[in-house]
Amino acid sequence: MTEDIETSTTQATADAPSGVADSIPLQARAAALADERPEVAVGAAFAGGLVVALILKRLAR
């Protein structure tokens, strides 16, 4: 599974001229990734929820 991610990432940067991949905003790249692979967005939301829960647990002490 990680091989697919690495391949698609390196292929996209290899096809693009130098500096073009850096000019695409991070939000646009994240939106494109979420559209292409929605399971990544679900996993990120789950991880974010866990982080918030741990922070709230620490604050409640």
Instruction: Confirm if 21 and 14 have CB atoms less than 8 A apart.
Output: no
Residue 15 is predicted with a pLDDT of 58
Instruction: Confirm if 13 and 21 have CB atoms less than 8 A apart.
Output: yes
Residue 9 is predicted with a pLDDT of 53
In the block, which residue shows the tokens 């866990």?
50
Instruction: Confirm if 51 and 45 have CB atoms less than 8 A apart.
Output: no
- pLDDT tens, residue by residue, 15-61: 555 565 678 999 999 999 999 999 999 999 999 999 999 999 999 98
Q: How confident is the model at residue 11 (pLDDT cuts 50, 70, 90)?
A: low
Q: What is the pTM of this model?
A: 0.54
Residue 44 is predicted with a pLDDT of 95
Rg of the chain taking only CA atoms, in angstroms: 16
Instruction: Confirm if 12 and 20 have CB atoms less than 8 A apart.
Output: no
14 vs 27: which has the higher pLDDT: 27
